[in-house]
Amino acid sequence: MENIIKVKNLTFEYTSDEHTHRAIDDFNLNINEGEFVAIIGHNGSGKSTLSKNLNAILIPTQGDIVIDGMNTKEEKYLWDIRQTAGMVFQNPDNQIVATIVEEDVAFGCENLGVEPLEIRERVDSALKNVGMYELRERPPHLLSGGQKQRVAIAGIIAMRPKCIIFDEATAMLDPSGRQEVMNTIKRLNKEYNITVLMITHFMEEAVEADRVIVMEKGKKILEGKPREVFSHIDELKKIGLDVPYMTELSQLLNKDGIKIRTDILTVDEMVGELCQLK
Ligand code: ADP
Ligand code: MG
């Protein structure tokens, strides 16, 4: 199967008059259609620079990015790339452009030149997908952070992307808003096979992914299934990252002589393990 996202030896440098700053350093990544990949890494590790390269907001200094067969260096593909790989950013307020929810969701499709009747259909279905159909006539400023972010996601899915990149899209939300958005993302991935690349600093979100990638100083330093990656507790802590609470707790309990697995990721798994103790 063809990879929907291919990053080949990507190096990206920001240049100003005085100096050059290498934000991504020879980075490689392939993502299959339908995959759910999480990227973690602390501030300044290059995550946003990577996501902007994937969306042709930035163009590689060296190397190539190919989105569904389209190289981001070829200008003629710009809009197709942005329609194939939609982006959801951190601050919902910067992404909402209209004064009514459904008009906001229609905006991207209008720019793509989709027929009005088709837009109506897509907007309604996208709003239903994110659970915002009932609030379609509201002004966005009356919504909660989580609801606004779901409207932003609806605007992207109305454009029928194969892939959505979330750049810390839950960072400004309260825990319940985060849960709403996370549930929406998981559903889009599982039910509609939309490829998800999720940049996050919440480990509880990363454990939901099929694959986790850890970035540090523009490089990939760890990659694997969540259970594999999060078993490297010391390494993650050394670079200033958290580990999932339950993984840490499972290791602490073990040190205290409570013999349970040490690679537990979720509360459910923890409960399961503790219930088996004699
Ligand atoms: P992250 O999203 O992981 O926090 P970024 O991709 O935003 O990391 O930043 C990676 C590095 O590039 C950081 O050292 C940051 O200071 C630098 N950087 C980001 N944006 C710019 C820019 N517009 N000009 C110069 N340097 C930048
Ligand atoms: Mg960032």
Q: Give residue-wise pLDDT tens across range 22-71.
A: 999 999 999 999 999 999 999 999 999 999 999 999 999 999 999 999 99
The answer to whether position 234 is within a domain reads no
The answer to whether position 189 is within a domain reads yes
Residue 172: predicted pLDDT: 85
Residue whose CA is closest, atom 20 of ligand 1? Answer: 49
**Ligand 1 pocket check: which of 25, 27, 49, 57 to mutate, most ligand atoms within 8 Å of Cβ?**
49
Residue whose CA is closest, atom 24 of ligand 1? Answer: 14
The answer to whether position 261 is within a domain reads no
Give alpha helix (H) positions in 40-100.
47-54, 78-84
The answer to whether position 276 is within a domain reads no
pLDDT, tens digit (0-9, with 9 covering 90-100), for 19-28: 999 999 999 9
Domain that holds residue 109: 3-226
Residues found in the chain: 278
The answer to whether position 100 is within a domain reads yes
Expressed in angstroms and rounded, the spacing between residue 258 Cα and the centre of ligand 2 is 39
Per DSSP (E only), the strands in 16-74 are 20-32, 36-40, 62-67, 70-71
Contact (CB, 8 A) for 68 and 56: no
The answer to whether position 79 is within a domain reads yes
Count of domains observed in the chain: 1
Residue 162: predicted pLDDT: 96
Q: Which CATH number covers residue 52?
A: 3.40.50.300
| Helix 175-192, helix 145-157: angle, nearest 10 | 20
Which ligand is in closest contact with the Cα of 47? 1
The residues lining ligand 1, judged by C-beta closer than 6 Å to any ligand atom, are 14, 21, 23, 41, 43-49
Structure tokens, 260 = 């349970």
Q: Which atom of ligand 1 is nearest to the CA of 42?
A: 3
pLDDT, tens digit (0-9, with 9 covering 90-100), for 217-261: 999 999 999 999 999 988 999 999 988 999 999 989 999 999 999
Expressed in angstroms and rounded, the spacing between residue 197 Cα and the centre of ligand 2 is 13
pTM: 0.92
Residue whose CA is closest, atom 15 of ligand 1? Answer: 44
The answer to whether position 116 is within a domain reads yes
> Order of strands, edge to edge, in the sheet holding 70-71?
20-32, 3-15, 62-67, 70-71
**Ligand 1 pocket check: which of 12, 19, 20, 21 to mutate, most ligand atoms within 8 Å of Cβ?**
21
Residue 1: predicted pLDDT: 64
Which conformational region is residue 57 in: left (phi greater than 0), alpha (psi within -120 to 50 degrees), or beta? alpha
Which ligand is in closest contact with the Cα of 24? 1
Whether the per-residue pLDDT at 2 is higher than 80: the answer is: no
The answer to whether position 38 is within a domain reads yes
* pLDDT band of 92, cuts 50, 70, 90: confident
> Order of strands, edge to edge, in the sheet holding 211-216?
85-88, 163-167, 195-199, 36-40, 211-216, 219-224
